[in-house]
Amino acid sequence: MQRERRKIRVQNSQIAPIELPAISVRRFGRSKTVNDTYGHEEGDVLLIIITDAMVAVYGPGDFVDRLGTR
């Protein structure tokens, strides 16, 4: 009963909906293998391709970044 009251209260409220940020973490563990096999220039090209794909999936106001490793 208490839950139902809260649910009705939320549905009838005048509070504007808010947008919450989403965080997506991806690990590309074979970048060293790509760099060692094909060279750093090709590794950079691969990272650019991955980044472009991620930017296309997320919205224009979203933030895509790369965290460095060791």
Q: How confident is the model at residue 7 (pLDDT cuts 50, 70, 90)?
A: low
Higher pLDDT residue, 43 or 66?
43
**Which tokens go with 20?**
């919450």
Closest CA to 32 of 69, 6, 65: 69
* CA–CA gap between residue 34 and residue 47 (Å, rounded): 10
Q: Is 65 within 8 Å of 50 (Cβ atoms)? A: no
Rounded to the nearest integer, the mean pLDDT of the chain is 75
